Amino acid sequence: MKKYEVPVVLIACLMLSVGVSSGQRTEKPVLYGQNWVAITGKPLAATAGALVFAKGGNAVDAACAMLGAVCTMYDVLSWGGETQALIYNPGTKKVIGLNALGVAPTGATAGFYKDKGFEFPPADGVLSAVTPGTPGGLLTMLAEYGTMSLAEVLEPAVRMAGGYPMDKETADRIEKDKDKIKGWPYSRAVFLPHLDEPREAPYPGEVFRQPDLLDTLKKLIEAEGRALAGGKNRKEAIYAAYDRFYKGDIGREFVRGSHEQGALITMDDLAAWKVHIEEPVSTDYKGIEVYKLTSWVQGPVMLQALNMLETVDLKAMGLNSAAYIHTLYQVMNLAFADRDFYYGDPYFPPQEPLRGLLSKAYARDRAKLIRSDKNDAGAKPGDPYPYEGKTNPYLGFLDRWLDWGRGEAGALGPGEAEAVEEAFRTGTTSIQAADKEGWVVSVTPSGGWVPCVIAGKTGVGMSQRAQSFVLDESKNPFNVIAPGKRPRSTLTPGLALKDGSPFLSFAVQGGDTQDQNLLQFFLDVVEFGMNVQEACEAANITSYQMHDSFNDHRTFPGKLDVNAKVPEEVRQKLRAMGYVLSVKKYTSGPINAIFFDRAHGTFWGGSSNYGEDYGIAW
């Protein structure tokens, strides 16, 4: 195997470059702000953040308002989904991680699913549900770091639950999935107002009403109000709402309604679950501190990739040249292979070897494995244990790593390729908020997306995140489903500091594509000088050479999406190196981000041109 010492001649012939260059016109403008910025996946939800900012809230208050709004709008998540956030606290000058991912319920063992004939937990339905995380995440974030009451922050979501004009994207998604929705009585009653008509979903622009969810949100606010009237302070009153959801009448109806439809979640599961406020992981990339959440999501994979790329002269290759694309793809092969095998819930044994995975020495040694001449379809997880001074107990599993889940990219028909791409991109939303006091919030909430099972009369759609577990420890000994355990998720906000102050805040919708998009966004800014909006729109690549975290967990070595702007000469070189290409008009993913202009004391917001993402600044 050739090591990663790319000959000068090869670099020269692969260096044809393409991409947005600084100063090029973008489809959307930069959002300039001096006081605050609010960006998320839907225009109405960005407006919710702006309304809270206008009333004097900080970035955490505004992020919570946007989170409540996107959950209510089913922007590929529901109130029963999961939330994770990175928060910069200007008082402590520290980045905080918030872990509000649900856990597998009582009875959700590998044996349970195997006895039912599953190879993996199902992709949707009641047996894909983990405990709701988003309500607890929102309430904890607001109580600990916000300034406003729950009533103030949830006002936009309450009004929207009473009725809001539905967007076309969500309306069409409901229509597409209506046959599944019809199997779940509470979902059918909410999502299909035109049952037995040619179109059964809401029409774009139709006022969509959710009376059960409205009642649930009012109960949370009522719990806060009663606590305040009883002499509790702001934080205690918000936690009273938390208790009503997870230990009170809301939780009881959630459990009753979910059990009626065959789910496993119990009241004990809800009461025992808790939000973790934790220290994120980070790496230094050329003087920039990049922060991600830990191994319960895929976030560290971007840090692993940056550690490897730090050994390479990316500028010399040229942006989106064949050499650059090949290098990114090979680095991602190695980083995502480690993700697929070593990542899992750090609060549940066995302990992930994260210190070894994020070691600079490990990254240098992994980078030496990169082939210069062609794609390495045999890339597999490494052994980070020696970099922690330990012995790897799972080496026997690695010997069989290439024996499962491998598809042939070149054998996929057009419809099959589209289905694979959709599985890797399975959506979420993103939230970005910052204020002049220095608070910064980056959130990637998800779960409970359409089609979801609504739990009884709560109006709350259950998460489908159990689908990301495995049942066979040889596939990933850290991510085998067990009661009380979190699945390794794809959700991965990002924050970067420079000289100890916020530099970039960034997140993206999507599934296994998220850290691929965010890695390239970051490099576009740091290595190639793009402004934040240019980087949000820039031509990216997408690899499918990792096991997708949804559905059947397949991998397609060599499958590669490239942007239509990539010249045919570059595409031909990539095909000669073993890649099977799909050419796309948009490849950036729905990235939303904030750049912090320290020279002028202003914010530069970037909002994707990919979907319906929208931002407002002041």
Tens-digit pLDDT profile for residues 102-116: 999 999 999 999 999
8 Å CB contact between 407 and 33 = no
Candidate from 14-28, 254-268, 550-564 with smallest mean pLDDT: 14-28
Helix residue spans in 368-476 (DSSP H): 395-398, 414-425
Mean pLDDT of the chain: 94
φ/ψ bin of 351: left (φ > 0), alpha (ψ from -120 to 50), beta (otherwise): beta
Would you say residue 595 lies in a domain? yes
8 Å CB contact between 307 and 287 = no
**What are the b/e assignments for 359-368, b being 16+ CB within 10 Å?**
beebbebbbe
Q: Which own/partner pairs from 281-289 qualify as long-range (CB within 8 Å, at least 24 positions apart)? A: 281/354, 281/358, 282/95, 283/307, 283/358, 285/309, 285/310, 285/522, 285/526, 286/310, 286/526, 287/498, 288/496, 288/497, 288/498, 288/503, 288/526, 289/496, 289/497, 289/498
Q: What is the DSSP letter of 385?
A: G
CA dihedral sign of residues 337, 424, 346, 401 = negative
Burial category of 123 from C-beta neighbours within 10 Å (exposed 0-12, middle 13-18, buried 19 and up): middle
Higher pLDDT, 420 or 182: 182
Mean pLDDT of 592-603: 97
Tens-digit pLDDT profile for residues 380-394: 999 999 999 999 999
* Domain CATH code at residue 547: 3.60.20.40
Q: Which amino acid is it at 335?
A: A
Residues making up the chain, counted from first to last: 618
Q: What is the pLDDT of residue 76?
A: 87
Considering only CA atoms, which of 67, 85, 184, 78 is closest in space to residue 132?
A: 78
HEC secondary structure over 145-202: HCCCCHHHHHHHHHHHHHCEECCHHHHHHHHHCHHHHCCCHHHHHHHCCCCCCCCCCC
Q: Are strands 559-563 and 580-584 parallel, antiparallel or unpaired?
A: parallel
Q: What is the pLDDT of residue 2?
A: 36
CA dihedral sign of residues 345, 346, 347, 349 = positive
Reading the block at residue 70, the tokens are 């996107």
8 Å CB contact between 381 and 478 = no
CA gap 253, 75 in Å, rounded: 24
Give SS3 for 53. Answer: helix
Mean pLDDT of 543-565: 94
CA gap 54, 62 in Å, rounded: 10
CA gap 337, 138 in Å, rounded: 32
Tens-digit pLDDT profile for residues 268-312: 999 999 999 999 999 999 999 999 999 999 999 999 999 999 999
Q: Which domain holds residue 514?
A: 8-29+279-430+482-617
CA gap 10, 12 in Å, rounded: 5
Tens-digit pLDDT profile for residues 209-233: 999 999 999 999 999 999 999 999 9
The number of distinct structural domains making up the chain is: 1
Would you say residue 233 lies in a domain? no
CA gap 48, 360 in Å, rounded: 42
Predicted confidence band of residue 17 (pLDDT cuts 50, 70, 90) = low
Would you say residue 468 lies in a domain? no
Report whether pLDDT(487) > 80: yes
Tens-digit pLDDT profile for residues 121-161: 999 999 999 999 999 999 999 999 999 999 999 999 999 99
Would you say residue 414 lies in a domain? yes
CA gap 154, 142 in Å, rounded: 11
Report whether pLDDT(529) > 80: yes
Give SS3 for 523. Answer: helix
Candidate from 13-22, 183-192, 353-362 with smallest mean pLDDT: 13-22
What angle is formed at CA 70 by the lines to CA 194 and CA 171, rounded to 5 degrees? 25
Considering only CA atoms, which of 259, 210, 329, 214 is closest in space to residue 105?
A: 259
Would you say residue 563 lies in a domain? yes
Report whether pLDDT(16) > 80: no
CA gap 129, 234 in Å, rounded: 32
Give residue for tokens 């320290």: 598
Would you say residue 66 lies in a domain? no
CA gap 320, 540 in Å, rounded: 8
Mean pLDDT of 68-78: 94
CA gap 589, 611 in Å, rounded: 9
Give residue for tokens 């979910």: 258
Reading the block at residue 360, the tokens are 């600079």
CA gap 505, 509 in Å, rounded: 14
Give SS3 for 71. Answer: helix
Predicted confidence band of residue 13 (pLDDT cuts 50, 70, 90) = very low
Would you say residue 221 lies in a domain? no
- Whole-model pTM: value is 0.95
Would you say residue 518 lies in a domain? yes
Burial category of 415 from C-beta neighbours within 10 Å (exposed 0-12, middle 13-18, buried 19 and up): exposed
Considering only CA atoms, which of 61, 212, 73, 75 is closest in space to residue 138?
A: 61
8 Å CB contact between 324 and 11 = no
Reading the block at residue 416, the tokens are 């099959």
